[in-house]
Amino acid sequence: MLYSPEFTRPTRLQRLQGAQWQVRGIQVFMKREDERDALLGGNKWCKLLGHLEQARADGMQHLVSVGGLWSNHLHALAHAGQRYGFATTGIVRGEAAHITPTLREAQAAGMQLKFVSREEYRQRHEAGWQAQACVALSHARFIPEGGAGEQSLSGLQQMAAEIAGQVSGEAWLAVAVGSGTTLAGLRRALPGNIRVQGFQAFADASVPERIAALAGSEGWQLHETQGMRQHARLPQALADFMQAFSSEENIELDSVYTVRLMARLDEMIRAGDVPDGCRVICLHSGGLQGRRGHSPALAA
């Protein structure tokens, strides 16, 4: 097993103190996965470690994956490779002239970067394209975008068991959704008393089908979020929400995923769309390094 002690100790549930989170007997907690590990915290550790364990068992030495200029996934993969003894290559949507602090840190951790056009990047889900990305590398394996795939389920099962041990009775688990891998893996492993609520960070019509293929059609629900079609620039309303939330709860939110989750949940509570007396566990999926992609004020 590659798991270090920090991956086997439960992260805390922090109850939110703001009045808006406590109306009608509702209780809202933050599952602080951002505190799991300085480099692999959030939901990246549980999606990556299954891939790493399988790669090691199969004698693979090089891991290849894809991401954008501020990719939490590539950032985590580079540091996981450095920590566990794998060479890594990141195929990046964008141009080398626009390299970001995220990618510089990945390079410093040993990752080789290859920049591709948006047109080529659209092929990243095709098996032939993935195989070609590894063909010139010795003992290499492709990890799908965001750590997706069956290998991600072992770490997600561990997270689900941890959450189930911390929650008794009926509850909601609120999860920000990118590819849908985290939601699907958790739903597949969680007991029936915990219903998973997904909050889409991107406008991707294929997500429900991908989740259903892994987790079936019951026990989960998807919600659209504010600004899910805007990622080059953080909408001012979300930037204001982040700053107010941080001041009130002493919890930093990332500028793509968790901020959209919490802002939409706030709207749902105010609208009466969260049942009276509901306990809501919000998964903090980390990704704080990506705040640098939106504004210096958020990166502070």
Residue 88 burial (10 A CB sphere; 0-12, 13-18, 19+): buried
What is the tens place of the pLDDT at every residue in 44-88? Answer: 988 998 999 999 999 999 999 999 998 999 999 999 999 999 999
Domains of the chain by residue range: 5-42+151-299, 44-147
Out of 3.40.50.300, 3.30.360.10, 3.40.50.1100, 1.20.1290.10, which CATH number does the structure's domain 5-42+151-299 have? 3.40.50.1100
Q: How far is CA 293 from the centre of its chain?
A: 16
> What top-level class would CATH report for the domain 44-147?
alpha beta
What is the tens place of the pLDDT at every residue in 152-167? Answer: 888 899 999 999 999 9
Tell me how far apart the terminal alpha carbons of the chain are, to the nearest angstrom. Answer: 36
pLDDT confidence of residue 1: 53
Query: 140 is written with which tokens?
Result: 């290499």
Q: What is the DSSP string of 113-152?
A: EEEE-HHHHTTTT-HHHHHHHHTTSTTEEE--GGG-SGGG
Q: CA 118, CA 181: separation in Å to the nearest integer?
A: 23
pLDDT confidence of residue 300: 37
Q: Evaluate whether 5-42+151-299 and 44-147 have a shared fold.
A: yes
Query: What is residue 284's three-state secondary structure?
Result: coil
What is the tens place of the pLDDT at every residue in 226-257? Answer: 887 766 678 889 999 999 999 999 999 999 99
